[in-house]
Chain A
């Protein structure tokens, strides 16, 4: 099987996962919430004046952008095949980032939603779990050690490349900086989620524990994936296996969405969330 056929399959898989499968899962999740927990019974779930309309609007925008990205991706892939245009890694990167736009917009809408919830929250009773949160309550040491090993392997490989190239602004330095920044961001996110203020003011202690666990697992899995990908990508650059680079990039994007969003959806199922706190007569947070 030639690389171009393999690349076509991989990109179709990327289009399916990032612009159909996971958007579909999120749409189903929001739809489930809108139908099972309406504003009439759960008014605290829909802050603001427009109540459910706002959530519906966000859902429609998300759906529109995701489906448009999918259509655009299919058209671009067809054009590339008809005109025999070589698909470069930069194209995969740009299109991958476009595919992540609806998720970023949805995240922003979710944060705004919680901000409104916090503004409208008039509860005088507040509660918290009297249990110290520790990192290893959420993830096994074996998984973390594996992540650290992949990180150290990547660091060692980067230094090898820097020494090999004898230049400061080499690919090794760039990828090393990118990975370090990513880990810094993940570390900040984990500390914020574990010890920071509650994003959702009405979330129960149990639901918060599940959410924290999901975020920690997600960051560790994505970190491992990123370290491995950067290692593989570096090797491809080193041995000048350029045709394989878009394949590796596309697989990396798919792995990221599977380990990132996929982990969040798998571990934080909507059926298990306690929605009783959003009822009018419920005063405990």
Chain B
């Protein structure tokens, strides 16, 4: 299977990689336990930074679409097809919207929510 990226697209490069790999899993081009190229190989083939491909692989691993078997490399996860259909972004939006609604109902202003959200995120990142 050939993977194609557009370097001038508005979609981030790692997202293009994630979307195409998920797409390939969904239509059955990639099956469970199929090996994926190493980060270095894919980055060099696409003339991208290794970190971009590593980020895409991390996202796929988080979504349980791929799994890393140590030095043996990255493989398609056994439940990849099922996990590909899960839209994490939409879930995040729903969850945050519910929290914001609850805070607003309690009388919190937009700026208070923003500052509190930023504080929590900053503290998490410092940890």
Q: CB within 8 Å of B: which residues of A?
A: 124-133, 194-198, 201, 205, 284
Nearest neighbor of B73 in chain A, beta-carbon distance:
A132
Binds A, one of B35-43, B57-65, B86-94, B115-123: B35-43
With a CB–CB cut-off of 8 A, which chain B residues contact A132? Answer: 35-38, 41, 73
Q: Are A128 and B6 in contact (CB under 8 A)?
A: no
Q: Are A125 and B38 in contact (CB under 8 A)?
A: no
- Known contacts A126-B47, A197-B47; 6 further A-B pairs (Cβ under 8 A): A127-B5, A128-B37, A130-B37, A132-B73, A133-B37, A195-B40
With a CB–CB cut-off of 8 A, which chain A residues contact B40? Answer: 195
Q: Are B73 and A129 in contact (CB under 8 A)?
A: no
With a CB–CB cut-off of 8 A, which chain B residues contact A198? Answer: 44-45, 47
A124 CB contact (under 8 Å) in B8, B37, B73: B8
Nearest neighbor of A125 in chain B, beta-carbon distance:
B6
- Which label, helix, strand, loop or mixed, suits the secondary structure of the A interface? loop
Q: Are B7 and A127 in contact (CB under 8 A)?
A: no
Q: CB within 8 Å of A: which residues of B?
A: 1-8, 21, 24, 30, 35-38, 40-42, 44-48, 73
With a CB–CB cut-off of 8 A, which chain A residues contact B73? Answer: 132
With a CB–CB cut-off of 8 A, which chain B residues contact A124? Answer: 6-8
**Considering the chains assembled together, what is the distance between the CA atoms of A194 and B45 in angstroms?**
10
Nearest neighbor of B44 in chain A, beta-carbon distance:
A197
Q: Are B1 and A196 in contact (CB under 8 A)?
A: no
B30 CB contact (under 8 Å) in A128, A130, A133, A201: A130
A128 CB contact (under 8 Å) in B3, B8, B24: B3
Pick the 10 closest A-B CB pairs, nearest first: A128-B45, A127-B4, A132-B35, A124-B8, A130-B1, A197-B44, A132-B37, A130-B3, A128-B46, A126-B46
Interface CB pairs A-B, < 8 A, 25: A125-B4, A125-B6, A126-B4, A126-B7, A126-B46, A126-B47, A126-B48, A127-B3, A127-B4, A127-B5, A128-B3, A128-B42, A128-B45, A129-B1, A129-B2, A130-B1, A130-B30, A131-B1, A132-B37, A133-B37, A133-B41, A194-B41, A195-B38, A195-B41, A195-B44
